[in-house]
Structure 1
């Protein structure tokens, strides 16, 4: 007689372990991205001693005034006009057409990423709860592998940034954004 439970368990255990392990670096990255997309982070970062001057001449006060609009646009349901209607005190448009297109692309990527964060987090919680109650050694193994994948990913990214920043930057943007909107 075939033991179907044993077969199912032998298949499910590695799937749950690797599924959770692969989710960990993704959720850590996306969670970190969400944390920096806050007005509080802008305040902290723009007022940090040694923060570089803006090459376009924006003061810290200008940056702190205008930057929250960009973050709000990425996180809300407003149309592109939310940013397109912004003007300087003299009435000039704040964003050029190519910048607006880039922000629309960023919003699409952001929404997709945060949907992955939401559903991935729910999936991770379910897998953690299941493994916690049924197989804690599998949970420990998944967390270990997830940690190793995270560290390995960081090493690869840092290596890529150090060795070939321009290529890294270009490849990243080509993956996610329309040509001509991010240069």
Structure 2
């Protein structure tokens, strides 16, 4: 196996692990745990925990299904007012594009890694393939620790630390201030900044676990096979 192919595997490994973390965070498990945490802030505009569960479910489901924006646009409060305003709906369309694009990249990454693994098994390249995975695991550890430190520092010391990262991230994927909302808007009431701090922290933990498993597990596997 040429060194460039081994390094391609290393590059794809963090993408695969980050994609896995993203997919886990897009399940009901994450927001169910998050809303039940004692530190999660109450909604000063009146949402109960049950309200958040009720409205978070279709909001998250929309991001991974094939429905158009009417899936959210048709949702209404008991008084007949819409759950989301036009600005929020426009942003959710943008978020869906980013999420589904990211998941497509994840799927393609997995297919490439599996294909290279099969070819490597046929051509006797498995040691180099595993070395690429192990190296990618170390790269993932570095990225995950960095993300975890940013999220942790934002929670424990200074919220501006995480906000700077959060703003930079949004500037990459979204136009202008289209992702900024009033505290009274439904999106902020359902998903306040603490939700995203914890999401980043859990993404770091999941990715770190996968990276450590590859970096240390494959190293031990290599020693055992000698």
Q: Does 1:137 align with 2:127?
A: yes
For residue 121 of structure 1, what is the aligned residue in structure 2?
110
For residue 23 of structure 1, what is the aligned residue in structure 2?
12
For residue 174 of structure 1, what is the aligned residue in structure 2?
171
Q: Does 1:105 align with 2:97?
A: no
Encode CA deviations 1:35-79: one digit per residue, 9 max, x unaligned.
121123332332234333234431110011111111121111211
Once residues 22 and 66 of structure 1 are traced to their aligned partners in structure 2, the CA distance between those partners, rounded to angstroms, is 37
TM-score by length of 2: 0.70
| 3-state SS, counterpart of residue 145 of structure 2 | helix
Matched ranges for 1:13-162 at <5 A: 13-133=2-122, 134-161=124-151, 162=153
TM-score by length of 1: 0.85
Structure 1: 5+ residue runs without aligned partners? 1-11
Structure 2: 5+ residue runs without aligned partners? 155-160, 181-226
Check whether the contact 1:83–1:100 (CA below 8 A) recurs between aligned residues: yes
- Note the C-alpha offset of 1:113: 0.4
- Note the C-alpha offset of 1:150: 0.2
Encode CA deviations 1:14-41: one digit per residue, 9 max, x unaligned.
2321111111111111111111211233
| Shift in alpha-carbon separation, 1:92–1:128, aligned structure 2, 3 A | same
- Note the C-alpha offset of 1:101: 1.3
Once residues 157 and 44 of structure 1 are traced to their aligned partners in structure 2, the CA distance between those partners, rounded to angstroms, is 21
| 3-state SS, counterpart of residue 2 of structure 2 | helix
| 3-state SS, counterpart of residue 78 of structure 2 | coil
Aligned residue pairs, count: 172
Once residues 42 and 157 of structure 1 are traced to their aligned partners in structure 2, the CA distance between those partners, rounded to angstroms, is 20
| 3-state SS, counterpart of residue 109 of structure 1 | helix
| Shift in alpha-carbon separation, 1:119–1:171, aligned structure 2, 3 A | same
Q: C-alpha root-mean-square deviation of aligned residues, in Å?
A: 1.9
| Shift in alpha-carbon separation, 1:128–1:57, aligned structure 2, 3 A | farther
